[in-house]
Amino acid sequence: MLKLIPMVENIGKVYLVGAGPGDIGLMTIKGLSCLKKAEVVVYDFHLNAQVLNYINHSAEFIYAGKRGGHHTMTQEEINDILIKRAGKGRIVCRLKGGDPFVFGRGGEEASALAKAGIPFEVVPGVSSAIAAPAYAGIPLTHRHYSSSFTVIPGYEDITKEKSSIDWSGLKGIGTLVFLMAIKNIADLTRKLIENGLSPDTPTAIIRWGTRAEQKTIVGTLGNIVALVKEKDILPPAVMVVGDVVRLRSTLNWYEKKPFFGQRILVTRETVEGFEALEELGAEVISFPTIEIQPPVSYDELDSVIEGIDSYDWAIFTSSNGVEFFFRRFFELGKDIRNLKGIKVCAVGSKTASSIRKFGINVDLMPLEFHAEGLIESFKRLYEKEGLKGLRIVLPRAELGSDVFPDAIRNLGGHIDVPVAYRTVKPKGTGKRLRRFLKEGRITIATFTSPSTFNNFMDLMGKDASPLLRGVRIAVIGPVTKKAIEKAGLKVDIMPHEATIEALVEEIKSVL
């Protein structure tokens, strides 16, 4: 029995959020906003794992889904968790696949919250009833085929004496959409035919609609059961019945994309730069194996910033180096005028772009974006006078390569390499990613630094190497390649230029 929570000033709130059918792009802006501010997230199984990347790392994760009919929690237990967490003043996001009020039991949860006096909001999501057919090229309504559609639960036991479905009323009312229909598909089709629908009525089954593994089969009411068995179609799936199914032959757009079915694993904090692959139909999965954090101590960086006017060059090898250097630079009360007379070098076009955002022009960008290319650039630049007496500052990550600093010192120059930021291994088990790898659902795994790879191996544990054996490995440059080959794995893709843009182009050329 639910207990009423006394109204207090610090009482929390529950957001019932629809996460959409699978494609991360179909989640609403408001849904993401609620997710980001949540202190507790209660989530279901049928979600795109990418959604969870938007959750505050300090939030409490509670899994409440079901798979294969197995319930992790009863509905009463879920209601109780929502009420108790919000009753303690916490912001709770109840994250549900599709739309919370379309066969999602969101109405029951809202009723329980209202009865307990807990404030709540409902954030609608895109239902698979609409999205899956759309991604299969089947419009639910069309001026020449159907002017209405009906969404029907496909999981109801229709052999029981009394049904909540008016089967006799389904004939002639437009397109029929059955959610979660596979388990009962033989009974459903039989019932429809018994109630007047022709066995020749066009019928489609869409499994995992809007995702990389979407699979669509088309038949009729009379043969769809046999086709489901022949093609081994398993839940979750949507069934569409009606003349609009005929339009799939000309309107099928998603499954015709050149990279449809490809899954690209990105192990950095953001998938920025990989959007071109998504446009071509690939699904980009983000599994960050590093988190960027400030240094443990600012002593080194502060010392360099205070004496910044003593340097001839400031070199930045990453956008992170730029961001963390200038963040501290301004925190110490400095401004751009303090950099007067200092030349700036950027390794990579992305780094150069980050520097220009501060109104600073880049004086040098090596043709080759790695330590050796940087060394050659400085050798050519100071070919006559040499590097003796040259003073350089290189703000960088905590565990950066010493190839360039050692070369500068050997050539007579002075270089300081203060720690501007550090990369740490995020918390998490990677359980879902491990399952995807085991099931062969990852096409290419990308690594943009040795730390992204090494942390991946740690997070995956003893199964790491076997999990990657059947996956093509793509790296951004030779340093990362060396770390992977040291682990006994083969690198399949590496661009000539060490940038995300070049890496994406190289991936496109092999898919």
How remote is the C-alpha of 269 from its chain's centroid?
Answer: 10
Q: Is the dihedral of CA 487, 488, 489, 492 positive or negative?
A: positive
CA distance 71 to 356: 53
Here the tokens at position 57 are 């790392």
The Cα 151–Cα 174 span in angstroms is 11
Q: Which of 3, 30, 36, 66 is catalytic?
A: 66
232-236's contacts with Cβ under 8 Å and 24+ in sequence apart are 233/182, 233/205, 233/207, 234/182, 234/207, 235/180, 235/182, 235/183, 235/207, 236/46, 236/128, 236/180, 236/182, 236/207, 236/208
| Catalytic residue flag (residue 66) | yes
Contact 255, 212 (CB under 8 A): no
Closest CA to 491 of 510, 467, 475, 505: 475
**Known catalytic membership, residue 343:** no
Query: What is the CB neighbour count within 10 angstroms for residue 324?
Result: 24
What token pair was written down for 58? 């300090």
DSSP 227: H
> Is residue 7 among the annotated active site residues?
no
Identify the active-site residue in 13, 23, 27, 44: 44
The contacts of residue 461 (CB under 8 Å, 6+ apart) are none
DSSP state, residue 138:
-
* 205 membership: H or E segment, kind and range: strand 202-207
Q: What strand order describes the sheet that includes 472-475?
A: 283-286, 263-266, 444-447, 472-475
Catalytic positions are 44, 66, 180
